[in-house]
Amino acid sequence: MTTFSYTHIDPHGRRRVGAIEASDKLQAQKSLEANQLIVVNITEGDGGKKRKSASIKRRGKVSRREIIEFCIYMTTLTEAGLPITDALEEFEEETPNEYFRYVVRNLKTGVQTGRPLSEGLALFPKVFSREFVYLVRAAERTGTLPNAFRELRSYQEWLERLANDVKQATTYPIIIVIALGCFIFFLFSSVIPRITSILTDMRIELPAITRAVMGLSAMAVHSWYYWIAAGILIPVGIKIGITRSESFAMIVDRYKLSLPIFGGLFRIIIQARFAQNFAVLHRAGISILENLELCGAFIGNRVYARHLNRAMLDVRDGVRLSQSLKNSDAFSGLVLRMLAVGEATGNLDEALRHAAEYYNEEVPRRVKRLFSIMEPLIILILVGVIGVVAAAVFLPILSMSGGLG
């Protein structure tokens, strides 16, 4: 296939430039004319931009905020009756992100050559998620593309609010934890060794707590590089293990759910994502079986994905979805009740929307409550460490002064 650049006149009388891949110039011209484009000229090549596009393709990144702006733009223009190609071309001119402009240009070219928009979106999985692609695909079947982009905008905004709430609640505790770790490392690697040399020169019997602190200090001095290496290699090893081994990934996901403090929060976030995804996809006309399969891939936890896959088999055998998920003993009473109400009334997406709205407010509250508890806990740990070190230093001095008396 060869790349051809072309100039055409849009319905508003403006000259536009694009690129298309075809086996030869004649095929490129036929493809463009089939899409009712008024072609001015076609030349082989991409106007000297191929090398630049390859470079952009390698380093590109699109933020969630830019995806939201894309959804807003597409909703507005498609509702106004503008063709998809014109809407994409308008957004291509407006977005300042060079890589996103490259992506939209490819989407536009694909639509012009007869490729569905959803297929073009699927070519950029790092930009458009699977739920994004499936929702647009369902809308193309039903002719409700503006509604799909409106739903996607709401969903992306929900994800952004959730991420911002978590980030806002975790920033301060993370800074405190890092500062605490640096302080403890400095204490045991620099301060305590000097005190240790003084106590050793005194040639007195040291209490057990002093010997323990001195041992930890010696370990920190002589093996600090091992601890730093472990701090880097262990997370990297876990990440590689998750991508390479499904059973290991399942163990990690199960462990996350069983954590004493964070496990409950993870469960709430997972169920919030399930309710939000299921409601959006069901409203777009995607069947329950396909919806469950997609939600299993989107939910972000393999334990819950396994429950949803089992529910998909149960629903296929005639079991009600609410009953199947109840048997899994993994979903909250709210989700199960909303599912039961939705099945009884035939309005499943509306019932789950209520559950999603509840979680939209509950998740930020849970996150803030959790980290508000952690802040005094961190301070108590800091006080405890300082207290232990102080006791280790002063007990030998006190015992020596008592012996002198």
Question: Position 217: which residue type?
Answer: S
Token representation of residue 340: 């039961």
- Confidence at residue 54, expressed as pLDDT on a 0 to 100 scale: 46
Burial class (CB in 10 A: 0-12, 13-18, 19+), 318: exposed
For residue 280, what are the CA distances in angstroms to 150, 295, 326, 336? Answer: 10, 11, 22, 17
Q: Edge-to-edge strand order for the sheet containing 15-22?
A: 15-22, 2-9, 38-44
- Confidence at residue 365, expressed as pLDDT on a 0 to 100 scale: 81
Tens of pLDDT, residue by residue over 155-168, are: 888 788 877 877 77
Place of tokens 């090549």: 45
- Confidence at residue 40, expressed as pLDDT on a 0 to 100 scale: 64
Tens of pLDDT, residue by residue over 214-270, are: 888 887 777 778 878 888 899 899 989 988 888 899 999 999 898 887 888 888 888
Domains in the chain (CATH in brackets) are 2-128 (no CATH), 165-405 (1.20.81.30)
93, 18 Cβ separation under 8 angstroms: no
351, 338 Cβ separation under 8 angstroms: yes
d(CA 150, CA 34): 30
Reported for 154-162, long-range contacts at CB under 8 A and 24+ positions apart, including other chains, are 154/280, 155/131, 155/276, 155/277, 155/280, 156/64, 156/67, 156/68, 156/71, 157/68, 158/276, 158/356, 158/360, 159/64, 160/64, 160/65, 160/68, 161/360, 161/364, 162/269, 162/272, 162/360, 162/363, 162/364
Tens of pLDDT, residue by residue over 180-217, are: 888 888 877 777 888 777 777 777 777 888 888 888 88
| The dihedral sign for the CA sequence 79, 82, 83, 85 | negative
96, 80 Cβ separation under 8 angstroms: no
Ranges of the chain whose pLDDT falls below 70: 1, 8-16, 33-38, 40, 45-60, 400-405
d(CA 174, CA 177): 5
Torsion of CA 319, 320, 325, 326, to 10 degrees: -100
Measure the CA angle with vertex 266, ends 301 and 315; round to 5°: 45
| pTM, two decimal places | 0.66
